[in-house]
A and B are shown apart, each in its own frame.
Chain A
Amino acid sequence: MFPASRYACKAHRSIRALTTLQTDSAAPQLYTSIHRRTCSSVSTPRITTHYTIQPRDKDPRWEGIEMERFADEADVVIVGGGPAGLSAAIRLKQLANEQEKELRVCLVEKAPQIGAHTLSGACLEPSTLIELFPDWKERGAPLNTPVTEDVFSIFTKKHRIPVPILPGLPMQNHGNYIVRLGNLVRWLGEQAEEIGVEIYPGYAAAEVLFHEDGSVKGIATNDVGIAKDGSPKDVFERGMELHAKVTLFGEGCHGHLAKQLYKQFNLRENCEPQTYAIGLKELWMIDEKKWRPGRAEHSVGWPLDRNTYGGSFLYHLNEGEPLVALGLVVGLDYSNPYLSPFKEFQRWKHHPFVASTLEGGQRIAYGARALNEGGFQCIPKLTFPGGLLIGCSPGFMNVPKIKGTHTAMKSGMLAAEAIFPKITAENLDSETAGIHVPEYSESLKNSSVWKELHAVRNIRPSFHNYFGLYGGMVYTGIFYWMLRGKEPWTLKHGGMDANQLKPAKDCKPIEYPKPDGKISFDLLSSVALSGTNHEGDQPPHLTLKDDSVPVARNLAIYDGPEQRFCPAGVYEYVPVETGDGMRLQINAQNCVHCKTCDIKDPSQNINWVVPEGGGGPAYNGM
């Protein structure tokens, strides 16, 4: 019996996963027919085998397996190699070099190379980059496209209403750069390595470690070599422990370790639950005649109705070839479970204003990611003994500007500046083994980030009114443009996104047009373009707290919204092999790590945990 041929199996499983995915043409009636829905004549098959749900200490298959972990010490450990994490790392080393102190900074990142899991519009405000690297131009930072034209429209089905961008409105982009954020992050990674940060891509932080006194001790990376059914393989190896005086968590929007930390340290008791949106993006190589480098287009309106928050972007890059980055952002507080953000994005591209740019072009990349919409009202407590939160994880995005990179970087830098004196102090009097750095929150409150977020805090919640989008725009015009957000009240958001779905029977299914294969495409070919892949033989990292809830609740009441909001086709309701009824099939290999399912599941039953490091999308300059 020959050992499992890893690659043949991998490739076969990926192909199998991709071909068994039901395409949009599979009759939607199949899923909504009532008699198939709730009653399944077989008991729920086991879906979740991950050890976070099925513990290993009681599992007989794990008896006798060596579970000790190798541990190493650093001064600071940073989880996440995005703009925030890398800025913090770089700033720490800059300070160390200035003051001639030794500092070991380790950064772990789940992507196989820095930048491979980064996805953003993006229109960058360079202020923070200039602070970090005043000589960014000489160092070759990839900011090649200054914004030359700003176009804002309200789309109707066939037409557009131009909206003037007056100076002072948040959507004005003068002085900003259109960037491919993945490339900028990759460049930041190179700068960090040069300055002496130890960067370990391909290793995901899977567990937070605690001292006896409850403070954070560090993190442990993921175990490798666990089979799909949860049993250990021959190549099983425990992850490694990285201990630090302070651990920075920069996992990006809706990080899975941050989710645990919120509970552990009760960090969200004085803020509103975070509200999110999903952003879907494509890169297109267009006809040269249509290329207008430096042009930034934004739109609201069609195809979203006035009560579904969202908007689009289309940026013409200027990097030597006619490349445009475009995408649609859909607020995840939508109420119709039949809404499919992916299909909305595909049909938006057919609007005459957009299609005219894309005609004759070729799509070369696709991806999706959740982003924060909560702003000021949703910022949690940021520090706890032994660690702190930076970047989009707590969430510093300026929603009307749709910019979060500069604030994420700033938060990373402020964190570094607050931590540095404490970890290099000769005799630090710390109450806890893991150092607490509340100075970070203080300096953030006194910074430009806070002022910015405070000024725009009421714009997003102002959409929760009868006029929806139009009410929001009027509010922005009056209170932001004229009064700069100085109104004394703070509006509330609507609560958790997961609670916003109405039952399927109260909503109308949406008729989406079939993709034409030239401008709009089907889900499978899009997922293939993201380059995503995971080691097939591992427990699905989309874990369910209760395996029976999807069919009993999500499918029964909401008609299985996860099969529509997942931009990678991970969730499918398929008929059971014997008997009547449906079951949930999780195609974990397709996952692009966007976190939408963890956010929008109406039963909050899905818990996204990190898969084996190195898996996930292979974005290139997204």
Chain B
Amino acid sequence: MRVIDYAVKIRVKPDNSGVVTDGVKHSMNPFCEIAVEEAVKLKEKKLVKEVVAVSCGPQQSQETIRTALAMGADRGIYVEVSGKDYESLGPLQVSKIMAALAKKEEAQLIILGKQAIDDDCNQTGQMTAALLDWPQGTFASEVSLDGDNVKVVREIDGGLETIRINTPAVLTADLRLNTPRYATLPNIMKAKKKKIANVKPADLGVDLTSRLEVLRVDEPPQRQAGMKVETVEDLVAKLKDAGRV
């Protein structure tokens, strides 16, 4: 997934319809990097035969796929979504696309990042599993593939949960799953020779219409300066003034 780089300062468009993306530095979603790394590791352990990297979006998404290919994916699929369709592209549409592709490619495993850092939805993996009626291992911090099932250690609020699910399955990667390797220059050069297939959502029979309409995007309110008080009475008085007590 191609998102605005995490270190860039986000700016809301003057008409409050979204954020400025033109010319802004974009990179692969950090959790997707971890997902790609896990897939490549599985291939290196000879547990899977082929790794296919998929991305949906405008032309520049192909750069993101190229990075995945440089990390070790075998081939790429680029799903062309641009303009208005891209602006309204959300987890529901992406999961429909993923489900369609998984059936087409007869995939055994879909590994996604747990969430995208631009919308923080944390829904695509789960929706994809539901559409395919496949088991899901989300927030994975450890993955062990064993024949026709997968043992997944999941990071949950209470600690760690270990589950065993049958393949084909959907996994979503959490932060501590692995440390992604660098896409080095020789690999980027080799990646230029790997194939990226071009697909349109219509070819997959996917309807991209969104059920959501973004009404408005605003910056978070400016942090107000704090106040120091000398006594407890002062504090109570100020709280009463502010209507908090």
Contact = CB atoms under 8 A, between A and B. Distances in A.
Interface of A: 2-8, 11, 14, 70, 72, 108, 112-113, 115-116, 182-183, 186, 200, 203, 221, 224-225, 234-235, 237, 239-240, 285, 321, 364, 528-529, 531-533, 618, 620-621
A620 B179 contact: no
A203 B186 CA distance: 11
Interface stretch (B7-15, B127-135, B197-205, B234-242): B7-15
B95 to A, nearest CB: 24
A101 B54 CA distance: 37
B25 A113 contact: yes
A533 B185 CA distance: 21
A116 B23 CA distance: 9
B117 to A, nearest CB: 9
Which secondary structure dominates chain B's binding surface?
loop
A316 to B, nearest CB: 17
Contacts of B14: 285, 321
B184 interface: yes
A618 B176 CA distance: 27
Interface residues of B, number: 26
A593 to B, nearest CB: 14
B24 interface: yes
Contact of B182 (A3, A108, A225, A618): A225
B27 A112 contact: yes
B7 A8 contact: no
Interface in B139-194: 141, 175-176, 178-182, 184-186, 188-189
A5 B175 contact: yes
Contact of A7 (B23, B30, B181): B30
Given A3-B179, A4-B179, A112-B25, A618 B7 contact: yes
B185 A364 contact: no
A4 to B, nearest CB: 6
Contacts of A203: 185, 188
Interface of B: 5-9, 11, 14, 22-25, 27, 30, 141, 175-176, 178-182, 184-186, 188-189
A529 B9 CA distance: 6
Q: In this complex, which of B6, B14, B25, B27 has the most chain A Cβ atoms within 10 angstroms of its Cβ?
A: B25
B176 A7 contact: no
Contacts of A14: 7
A200 B188 contact: yes
18 contacts: A2-B141, A6-B179, A7-B30, A72-B189, A112-B5, A183-B23, A200-B188, A224-B184, A235-B180, A237-B182, A239-B185, A240-B184, A364-B11, A531-B8, A531-B25, A618-B7, A618-B24, A620-B25
A224 B181 CA distance: 10
A92 B30 CA distance: 38
A225 to B, nearest CB: 6
B178 A8 contact: no
A186 to B, nearest CB: 7
Q: In this complex, which of A2, A182, A183, A621 has the most chain B Cβ atoms within 10 angstroms of its Cβ?
A: A2
